[in-house]
Structure 1
Amino acid sequence: MHPTTLTVIPLEDKVLLPGVVMRLVLSGPEAIELTRRFFKKTEQQAIYVVCVPLHPLRSNDIADCTSQAPQVPLPQQGMASGYDKEQQRPDQQQPQTLVTPLQHARLASFGCLAKLVRVQRSGVGIFGVYMEGIQRCELVAPVTTTTTTSSTSPLVFQVRYNQETIGSSIPTGLMDAYMKLSKEFVQQMRQLQMPDSLILQLTKMTNTLAPLALADLMISIIETSFDEKWNMLATTEPTKRITLASTLMQRQLQVLHISQHVHSTIEGKLTKQQREFYLRQQLDAIRQELGHEQKEEDEMAELNRRLVEANMPSHVVVIAQRELKRIKRLQPSSTEWAVSRNYLEWLAELPWAKRTEDRLDVSDAKRQLEGDHFGLDQVKKRIIEHLSVIKIKGDLKAPILCFVGPPGVGKTSLGKSIAKALSREFHRLSLGGVRDEADVRGHRRTYVGSQPGLVIQGLHKAGVNNPLILLDEIDKLVHSSHYGDPGAALLEVLDPEQNNAFTDHYLNLAFDLSNVLFIATANSLDTIPGPLLDRMEVIQLHGYTFEEKLHIAKTHLLPKQLVAHGLDSKDVILSDEVILKMAENYTRESGVRTLERTIASVVRAKCVELAALRESAADGQVGPSYCPQIQTDDLATILGIARFDKEVAERDDVPGVVTGLAYGGSGNGSILFVEATKMPGKGGHLQLTGSLGDVIKESAQIALTWVKAHAFELNLTATRRTNIVEFDDVHIHFPSGSIPKDGPSAGVTLVSALVSLFGEWQVPATTAMSGEISLRGQVLPVGGIKEKVISAHRAGIRKVILPWRNQKDVDADVPLPIKMDIEFVYAKTIWDVLNAAFVKDEKWSANRIAFESHL
C-alpha cells in the first residue's frame, strides 16, 4: 500500500511517466534529509515522492522569474532497463532545490508516484537521485507542517492514486494495432542501423510489457513535446491513452520513413568525402537520440557557463555572445573554430571582476620594508610616501615608480615587499630583449598562433585585475626596430589617464588597467625613451657599503644559503672579519649577488667536510673533528687566491700620477688612475691612450690649455711668455685600456696630473678627486657621487676632492660611516683643487704664498 502523503518534487519542462527512470540533481538541506532517509531505510522500506510537472511560464510570470534565481537545468528521463534518452553526465547538471514559491503556483494537478532507487554524491551538498515512476496520482490538498516556513522547505501533498483497469476496457482491435505499430517502430530503428543491444532490448519489451506500460515507455523514447507528454500523464482512461500513443507513434514512424527515403536517395550520389560527412552527421544525430551529448556541445555548454561566471562588462558580453553564436555554426575540424574557441577561452579566464582587497597599513609596510631590506633609507621613505598617498586618496592616480640602480641592490625584491604590504598578487614581466610591439600589445587573431600581449598574460597568471606588476629591465627594451617600438606600446600602459581602456590587439576589447600598480626597474636611464621616462618617477638605488653588505650577509644571505644546503646555523659560522674579507677581496660589485655566490661556495665546502665525516662515522672510522668556524686563512683554500686587491696599494706617490673617481654605466663606481709623462718631441703634442671617448679627450685638451695658460702663476715657468711644452710632448694614459672610458668628470684629475708632472709635486695615493673644469678654471658638478665615494672607500681612499655644488649629494646619499672615514674637500675653482691635492708636498709648500695670491 503506497503512502497517501508525499513530498512533491517539481519538474521543469519534463514529465515522468510510470515505468521510466529519471535522474535529478538536488541540493540544499531538504536534499540532504531525503538522502539521509534513503540510506537509513531497511530492506522492506522504500522512499516515495511524487514528481509533478510545472506548467509553462505565463507572460505575467516572466518578470517574477527574472527576479528569482537562475533556472536550473531540466531533470533527465530514461527507462528502468538502463536506456536513457536524454541523460546528461552528473557534472553537466546543475542542482535544484525541492520547491520554490513561484514553482508552487505552477504545479500541475497530476503527477507520478516515484520510488528512490539510487542516490550518489555529485559534490559538496549535491546529490544525484534516480527515481523510478510507479503510478499516476492526483494532488488533492497541501499538508501544512512545521517545516514549511522556509521558502525552500519541501512541499507535502495528499495524493489520490489512479486505479487503472487493464485488459477488457481496451478494444482488442485497438490494442492489436498498437502492438503492431510498436513492433514496426522497432523494426524501422533496426533498418536505420541502431545499436543491436538497443534493438534487442526494445524487442523484448514489446513482447513482455503490457500495452499501457509499453505506451508510457514508447512516449518517453520518441520525440514529443511537453504538452504531449503531459496529456499522456493526465489521461487516465486506458482507451484514450492507447489512442494518443498510437497517434504519436504513427507520426514518429512517418518521420523515420522520410529519413530512410532521403538516405537511400542521396547515398549513391555522394563522393567519399561527402559520404564521410553525412555519416558523421548521422552518428551525431544517433548520439543525440540516445541521449549522449556530443563532446563539443558539452565543451560549449561549459564554456558558456564560464563566460557567464566571468562577470564581464556589458561591451565584452556582446562580443562574447556574438562569437559564441558564430562558433556554433562552424565545424570543430575547421581552423576558424579553433581560433574562436581559443579567443572565448581567454575571455572566460581573464579576471574582469576578480580582485583582491587592499589591506594597506603604513606601519606594517614600514616593518615589511625594514625586515626585507637593510639601508636604502631614502628609497624606503619615498615608497612609504607613495603608499600613504594611496591610502589617503584611495586610488592609484600617482606616478609610476621606477627603481634605477646597479644589479643586485634589491630593485625586484622591493617590488615584492610592496606587494606584500598591499596584500596584492605579484607578477614580474621581464622586458629585457623584447623587440616586438606585439609582445606588449598582443598579436591580432588573423595570425597563426596569436595570443595576447605580456600585460594581459600577466593579468591572466595573476588571476586578479589589481595585481602589482613589476616591469623588470625596462631599459633593455629594443627600440624602433622593424617589428615596431615596444617602448611606445608601453606609453598607454603606464599612463594613468589612458590605461583604463587599454586595448590589446588580440582581445580587440578595452581592458581596465587603472587598478594595476606598475613598478619599473632599470640599470640606467640612458636607454629609456623620454616620453616613457616622463610617465615614471625615478628613484635611484645606489650600491651598498661594506658595512651594509656585512649586515645583509649576516641577516639574509648566510641563513638563506644554509637552508638551501640543508645545514643549521651551528654548522657554518662566519665572523664579521671573514665576511668583510670576502666582500673586499673576492667581490667587486654594487649589489650582493656575487657575495651570495661566494658565501654559497664556502657553505658547499663545509658540506663536503660534513659528508666525509658522516661517511667515516658510518664505516666505523675515526676521522678529524668537524670545526664549523671559518677563518680568514681558510678562504684561500676554499675560494682560491684573492681576485681583487686595494688598488691604491698598487702604486707609490709619484709625480704625474693622480687618482680619479669614475662611474660605470651599470651603476658601479671605481677609482681611475691618470698617468702623465713628458718626452722630447715636436713640442706641445698631446697623445691620449686608454680607450677614451670624445668627451674625455676634450677634457684633456682643456686641462693642457689651462696649465699652459697659468704656468707662470703655478711657478712652472720664469716668465709669462715661456711655453712649458716648447720642446716636449705630453702623453696621458688611463690604465685598463680594454675598458672604454668617457664622461665629463675627469677634468680636475687631468689638470692635477699635468701640474704634478711639470712641477714634480706629488699627490698622495690616498687622495682621489672628481669633477669637470671650464677654461676659466671653474669646477663643475658631476653625477654618481655616492657610487664614486663608496668605490673610493672600498679602495682605501682617505681624502676626496669634489665640486662644491656636489656637497648636497654627499650629505643626502653617502652613509654616515663613510663620512666618518673620509675627509671631504669641496672646491669652487681649480686652485682649490690643487691646494688640497698638494697640501702635503714640501716643494709645493715653498710656492704656497705665490699660489694663494691667485685664490
Structure 2
Amino acid sequence: MAEEGWAKEKSAPSGKTEEVPKVEKIEDDEAAFDALEAEQKEFIKDAEIDRILRAFRLDAYAVLDLQPGVPDSDIKKVYRTKSLLIHPDKTRNPQAPDAFDRLKKAQTELTDEKHRERLDEAIADARMLLMRERELTVDSEEVKSDEFAKAWREKAKMVLIDNEHRRRRQVKAQMQEEGREQKKEEEELEARKRKREHEQDWEKTREQRIGSWRDFQQGKKAPSDGKKKKKMKELGGRLGAILSWRIGYAFRGYVRTSWKTSNLHISITHTLSFRITSNTPQLYPYEPPLLPPSPVMAPARAQKVPVIPLAADTVLLPGNGLRIPFAASRPDIPALLSQVYSRASGKPASQRYNNAHVICVPLNSPLLSSNGQNLLTEDELKDKDGKANKYTIPDPASAKKDDLFTWGTAAKISGVEGRGTGEFSLIVEGVSRVRVLRVTQERPYFEADVQYETDVAPSPKDTEVQALFGTLKTLSRELLTLLRLTYLLPRRSGASGLTPMLARRIEMFIAKKDISEAGSLADFVSNLVEATLEEKLQILAAIDVRTRLERAVELLNKQVAAIKGNIKITSMTSSTVPMNGEIDLLNRQKSRALNRGTAAGFMPGMPGSAQGPPQDDQEPNEVDELEQKIEAAHLTPEAAKVAGRELKRLKKMPQQQAEYNVIRTYLENLAEIPWSVVTEDKLGADTLMRARKQLDDDHYGLDKVKKRLLEYLAVLKLKQSINDGVEAQIKTAEAEATELAKSTEKPDDAADAEPKKDVPAVDSAKIQILKSKRMVDKSPILLLVGPPGVGKTSLAKSIATALGRKFHRISLGGVRDEAEIRGHRRTYVASMPGLIVSGLKKVGVANPVILLDEIDKVGTSNFHGDPSAAMLEVLDPEQNHSFTDHYVNIPIDLSKVLFIATANDLSTIPPPLLDRMETIQLPGYTTLEKRHIASQHLIPKQIRTNGLDLTNVIFPDEVTSKIIESYTREAGVRNLERELGAVCRAKAVSYSDALDSSTLTSYNPVLTLAEIEEILGTEKFDEELAETRVRPGIVTGLVAYASGGNGSILFIEVADMPGSGSVQLTGTLGAVLKESVEVALSWVKAHAADLGLAQPGENIMKSRSIHVHCPGGAVPKDGPSAGMAHAVALVSLFSDRAVPPSIAMTGELSLRGRVHPVGGIKEKLIGALRAGVKKVILPEGNRKDARDLPDEVKQGLEIVHVRHIWETIRIIWPE
C-alpha cells in the first residue's frame, strides 16, 4: 500500500494516471524475488537430499548429520527439521522419498536404546582400535586433531560393515538351522508313524506268538518250511542252557521282541540298558555303548569348553539357577574363571562378560549308567543280612574324569558373591543340555569336548505328549495348592511351604507355558520337588521330551502323595477345590495356626522355599488397630460411611490378596487426614498488638501485607466473639428444652397415660435459628507478587507464627501433572493423595497456613491434564469447602486453610486463577530499607554464623551503604547477605591470626572503605552523579532498574550537526524509548514557532541532523518514562539554553504535550537523592506515589508535579 501511494504521488503533476504500470512493475519484481527465493529453497532441499543419500547408511548419526552421544532432544529436533525440509510432498526431487525413508530409519534406530547402544559400542571400538594401531593414549594431542577424527570415521565404517556381515551370516545360519529343524520334525513324525504301524502288526500276531511260546516250553517243534535253521547266538554270555537262565531287563523306551521257533530275537528302539542274570545271586551289569542321536535330538558341533564338577547330590537343569560355593578347597573354580574372563577380554564389548559360558556336570552315581539308565536298585545293593551297602561319591575338588556324568548343562555366569569369611559363591544360570564327548584336561580345571543339545518342540498333533503335558500342569497346580496349605498350617509336620503370593506367581508362570515349551516346563517343575540324585540325573539325561515328561510326572506324583501324607489331606486336588472354597479353607487353617516352628523345608531346590525366620502370630491385629484409628479421627458422616464399608471388606479378605494392601493403605490415609482437628487461634485481647510486633520484628517495611493480615485477624477475632455468644445462647436453649421435656413426662403405668412428648417444635426451631447465626470463617487467599529475595516465603512463615498456626510449604514450580494436585485415582498402582491432602496429613490440623510457592511456575495444559485448572477449586473460597481429591474421593473442607501464594510474574498466571486470589505487590527494597535490614538482621546473623561477637566486627553506616550501592544491585537482600558474609569471614581470619599471635591490641574491629575494596574487590556497579557543569542539550532523567529496588539518574544527550533532517539514536535503546524520542521531536517541531525556535512555517530540522544518545551503551534501556526529558533536551539544544544539573525529571509525553504518570517513583527518587539532585519534576498522576516516600526523601528533594510540558519549560526557564 505504501508503494501504491508513492506511485500516485509521483504521477500527479503530469496529469496522467500511470499508477497501474508502476504497480505491475513492482508486483513483477516481487514475483521475481519470490521465484528466486523458491529456487534457493529447492537448491537447499536438493543438497540435503543428496547429502542423506551419500551418507553411510549403517551410521544413523551420519544420516542425521549428528555427533555421537547427542541427547535424545537434539535427535528429535534435528529429525523434525530435516523431515519437514525434504518431505516428498514439499519438493519435486524424485529421490526425496528414498531420502525421507532413510532419514526416518536413522531416527528410529537412534531412538531404539538397544540399537543405539550397539552403534555407540561399534564407534567406541573403532576409536580404540585406531588408537591401538597408532599407539596413542587418550591424552595424546593427535587424538584431538581433525586428521584423527577423519580416520576415526573411516575406521567406524569398517567396524560397522564387519558387524553387518557377521549379522547377516548369523541370520543365514539361523534360517538354515530352522530348515534342519523342520526336516527333523518331519523325520520324527515318520518314525512315530512307523511305530504305530508296528504296534498294530504286533497286536495282530499276539496269538501266534503266545502259541509259539507254549510250543517252545512243551518241547514241540514248529512245522518245517524246508529251510535250514540258523544256530542260536549267545547274548551277554553263553546261553547253552536257555531254560536255566532268567532274562531280566530294565529299559526306558520301546522294546520289541519276536519269537520264531526256538530262536530269541530282541529289537531295541532308543536307549535300552538290560542285564541277563543266572539263578545265582551274582550280578552281570551290562552298559550299552553310546548310541547315535535319535531323531528327537538336535546336536550341534563339538566345542571345547571349561567344566565345573558339581557337588554331591547337586544337579543343574536348564532354565534354573544355582549357587556354587567355593573356597580354598576348590582351586579349580578360580583357575577356570581366570581363563574364561581372559578369553572374553579379547572379544567385542557386547560379547565380553555377559555371555561367558561354562559346563556344569554332576558327578556320576553307581546306580546309573553314563546315559542315565538304571543298573542297580537300592534293594540289590543290600547284603545277605539286608543291610544297605553304602557307596560314596567323590569330592568335586578331587574328582577324576571317570567320575563325571555323561550329561551336563551349559550355564551362563551371572556373577560372583563374596562374604567376609573368605567364602565365595559362583552364580550360574542353566541354558541348555550338553553331552560330554571327551575330557581333554583335568588340572588345573576340567576341560572337555562337548556337544550341545537343544529340545525339539513336540508336534501339536502328538496326543501322547499333549496328555503328558496336561497331566504335568495339573499336578503342578495341585502341588502349589498343597504348598500354600502347608505354609498356613502349624509346622509340626516338619515341612514348610510357599507363601500364597509366591505360589500364585509360580502358578501363573506355569499356566503361560504351551506345548512348545513342554521340555523346559518339565525341567522347571523337576527342580521344585524333592528328588534323589539318580532321579535328577535321569531328568538331565532325558533328551527326548516325552521321556522327560514321563519322569517329571512320576516325581510330581511321589511328591504330592508325600505332602498329603504329611498334612493328612487325602482328597484335595486343584481341579476339585474351587477358588472361594480354597480361600475359606486357607483362612480357617490360618486361624487355627498358633505356633509355627522353625523346621527346615522339604524342597531344598525349590525357589522361594520358607527357610527364613519364623513369623510371629502374636502380633496385634492390624485391622483392629486401624478401626481404632478411624474412630479417633472423627470422620465426617460421608467419610465414616465409606470407611465402614471398606473395613467390612478388609475383615473378610485374606492378607495375601493383592487388594488387601490397597484397602488398608486407603483407610490409613483416611485416618491420618485431620477432619476436625484444628489449631486454636491466639485471639486474646493483645492479639493485634502481638501480631503487629511479630511481623515488625521479622520484616522491615511491607506495610501493605501487614495491614491486610491485621485486618484478617481483627475480623477473625470479631467472628469468634460473636460465635461465643451464639454458643452460650444455644446451650441455654438446649437446657430449657430439656427441662421442659422432663416436666411434660407422665408415669408409664397411668391408665390415661399419653405418649411421651419430645422437645417442643418451637424450641427445636429456636435452636436451629441460633445455629444459623454462627459466623463461618472463610480464610482469604493472598497472592504475594514481587521479585526474588524480597521475603515472600519468610513472610508467610511469620504470618503462621503470628496466628499461632502450623505452617506447610508446597513448591509448585515444575508441576506438570494434574494428579500431583488432585491425587491419583485408587485404580492405579501405587496411587497416593495429592499435594494438598498430603500437606494436611503432615501438619495434622485442618486450619494450617499453606504456602503455595512459585504458583506462576505451574505447568500449563498437556496430556497429563492442566495443573493450573486443578488449582481453581483449591483457591476458590466458594468451592474449597468441598474439595474432592481423586484418591480420597470424599469432600474435604479447605475453607479453614489460609492459603498464601507467591509469584514473580503475573503474566504467566491464567486469568481465572489470578481472579480467585487477592494480589498484594511486594516491591523491591530501597537502599534505605536494605540498610535498615542489614543493620538489624543480616549483620548480626552473619556475625554469629561466622563465630564472632558483635564487638569483634563493627559495620559503620558508610561501609554498609558502600556494599549496598557498589557491590549489589538486586530487588532482595540475598546477594547483600552473601557479601556481608564474605566480609565477616575475612574479619574472622584477621581476628584468629591476632588471637593466635597475641596481638589483639593491633586488631581493629571497625571496618573501613579501604578494607571493603580489599576484601570484595573492585566495585561491581558505578553510580551516576549529577553534572556540575551546564551544557545545552543535556538533561538528567530518572531510571528504575528491572531487577527492582534500585534506581538512579540517566543522562540524555542531544547534539545537532549539518544534515538532511535525520535522527540517529544510540545507547542500546528499546522500541518504546525510540518512540518517545520521535514523539518529543514531533512536538518540538510542531511548537517551534511558539517556543521561539523558528519562524512560522519554517522547518526547524531543515539542513540539520540530530543525534540522541544515552550513555552506558552496554546496558539495555527501554520504557515509557523519558518522553518529557527528551523534549526538554531538544528545546535546550535548539534554544541554546542549558538545563540546571540539579533538576531531574521523569514522565511520558503525548503529542498534545500532556505528561503521563510512570512507575518506579520510589526507586527513582531515592537514586536521585543519592546522586545529588535537588529538584525533581514528576507527572501530576504520580502525586499519590510521592506520599509513600520515606521521610528522608521528602526532606532531601523538592518535588514538583506538572500536567503539561509547558509547565515543565516554565519551571526550568522561568524567563
| TM-score exceeds 0.5 | yes
Matched-pair contact (CA < 8 Å) for 2:1155–2:1202: yes
Tell me the CA shift for residue 583 of structure 1.
Answer: 1.8
Q: After superposition, give the CA deviation of every residue in 1:435-456 in whole Å (9 maximum; x if it has no partner).
A: 4333322333344444322222
2:1066 and 2:802 mapped to 1: Cα distance?
52
* Aligned match of 2:715: 389
**2:626 equivalent to 1:303:** yes
Structure-to-structure mapping, 1:364-763, within 5 angstroms: 364-394=690-720, 395-397=776-778, 399-481=780-862, 483-616=864-997, 625-648=1002-1025, 653-671=1030-1048, 673=1050, 675-677=1052-1054, 683-690=1060-1067, 692-717=1069-1094, 719-735=1095-1111, 741-763=1117-1139
Matched-pair contact (CA < 8 Å) for 1:473–1:521: yes
Matched-pair contact (CA < 8 Å) for 1:429–1:454: yes
Structure-to-structure mapping, 1:171-190, within 5 angstroms: none
Moved more, 436-445 or 603-612: 436-445
Tell me the CA shift for residue 550 of structure 1.
Answer: 2.7
Pick one of 688, 691, 702 that aligns with 1:362.
Answer: 688
Tell me the CA shift for residue 765 of structure 1.
Answer: 4.3
Q: After superposition, give the CA deviation of every residue in 1:376-419 in whole Å (9 maximum; x if it has no partner).
A: 34443333223212211345436423333333333333322222
Matched-pair contact (CA < 8 Å) for 2:564–2:570: no
Change (3 A) 1:450 1:664: farther
Change (3 A) 1:801 1:422: same
Change (3 A) 1:449 1:616: farther
2:1143 and 2:971 mapped to 1: Cα distance?
22
Structure-to-structure mapping, 1:128-277, within 5 angstroms: 194-195=491-492, 263-266=569-572
1:484 and 1:194 mapped to 2: Cα distance?
53
Matched-pair contact (CA < 8 Å) for 2:784–2:903: yes
* Aligned match of 2:675: 352
For these two proteins, the number of residue pairs brought into alignment is 585
1:440 and 1:739 mapped to 2: Cα distance?
42
1:436 and 1:651 mapped to 2: Cα distance?
60
* Aligned match of 2:1150: 774
Matched-pair contact (CA < 8 Å) for 1:406–1:668: no
1:295 and 1:829 mapped to 2: Cα distance?
91
* Aligned match of 1:320: 643
1:473 and 1:568 mapped to 2: Cα distance?
37
2:1109 and 2:859 mapped to 1: Cα distance?
35
1:647 and 1:683 mapped to 2: Cα distance?
34
Letter in 2 for 1:639: L
Taking structure 1 as the reference length, the TM-score comes to 0.61
- The share of aligned pairs that are identical, in percent, is 50
Tell me the CA shift for residue 469 of structure 1.
Answer: 1.5
Moved more, 585-594 or 788-797: 788-797
DSSP-derived class of the 1:544 partner: coil
Tell me the CA shift for residue 427 of structure 1.
Answer: 1.8
**2:1126 equivalent to 1:820:** no
RMSD value over aligned CA atoms? 3.9
Matched-pair contact (CA < 8 Å) for 1:690–1:734: yes
1:686 and 1:333 mapped to 2: Cα distance?
85
Structure 1 stretches lacking a partner, 5+ long: 1-188, 199-256, 840-844, 850-855
Tell me the CA shift for residue 577 of structure 1.
Answer: 2.4
Change (3 A) 1:632 1:737: closer
Q: Which has the higher contact order (CA 8 A, sep 6+)?
A: 1
Taking structure 2 as the reference length, the TM-score comes to 0.44
Matched-pair contact (CA < 8 Å) for 1:692–1:741: yes
1:519 and 1:591 mapped to 2: Cα distance?
19
1:382 and 1:343 mapped to 2: Cα distance?
39
2:594 and 2:1179 mapped to 1: Cα distance?
87
Matched-pair contact (CA < 8 Å) for 1:700–1:747: yes
Matched-pair contact (CA < 8 Å) for 2:883–2:894: yes
DSSP-derived class of the 2:1201 partner: strand
DSSP-derived class of the 2:1108 partner: strand
2:1114 and 2:887 mapped to 1: Cα distance?
47
Structure 2 stretches lacking a partner, 5+ long: 1-485, 496-562, 598-614, 721-775
Letter in 2 for 1:818: V
Tell me the CA shift for residue 724 of structure 1.
Answer: 2.1
* Aligned match of 2:557: none
Letter in 2 for 1:372: D
Change (3 A) 1:823 1:527: farther
Tell me the CA shift for residue 284 of structure 1.
Answer: 4.0
Matched-pair contact (CA < 8 Å) for 1:586–1:644: yes
Structure-to-structure mapping, 1:81-96, within 5 angstroms: none
DSSP-derived class of the 2:906 partner: coil
* Aligned match of 2:1181: 805
Tell me the CA shift for residue 676 of structure 1.
Answer: 4.7
Letter in 2 for 1:596: E
Matched-pair contact (CA < 8 Å) for 1:550–1:579: yes
1:673 and 1:607 mapped to 2: Cα distance?
40
1:679 and 1:502 mapped to 2: Cα distance?
68
1:336 and 1:629 mapped to 2: Cα distance?
71
Moved more, 592-601 or 650-659: 650-659
Q: After superposition, give the CA deviation of every residue in 1:630-674 in whole Å (9 maximum; x if it has no partner).
A: 222211122112222322369965544433334455533433636
Matched-pair contact (CA < 8 Å) for 1:648–1:765: no
Matched-pair contact (CA < 8 Å) for 1:676–1:754: no
Pick one of 1138, 1143, 1162 that aligns with 1:786.
Answer: 1162
Tell me the CA shift for residue 497 of structure 1.
Answer: 1.6
1:492 and 1:268 mapped to 2: Cα distance?
53
Q: After superposition, give the CA deviation of every residue in 1:290-323 in whole Å (9 maximum; x if it has no partner).
A: 7987599833333332222221111112222333
* Aligned match of 1:245: none
2:1068 and 2:1114 mapped to 1: Cα distance?
7
Tell me the CA shift for residue 807 of structure 1.
Answer: 0.8
Tell me the CA shift for residue 495 of structure 1.
Answer: 2.0
Change (3 A) 1:283 1:676: farther
Moved more, 308-317 or 474-483: 474-483
Tell me the CA shift for residue 192 of structure 1.
Answer: 7.4
Q: After superposition, give the CA deviation of every residue in 1:732-762 in whole Å (9 maximum; x if it has no partner).
A: 3445556554433232133233333433443
Tell me the CA shift for residue 359 of structure 1.
Answer: 0.8
Letter in 2 for 1:820: Q
Change (3 A) 1:367 1:264: same
1:579 and 1:752 mapped to 2: Cα distance?
37
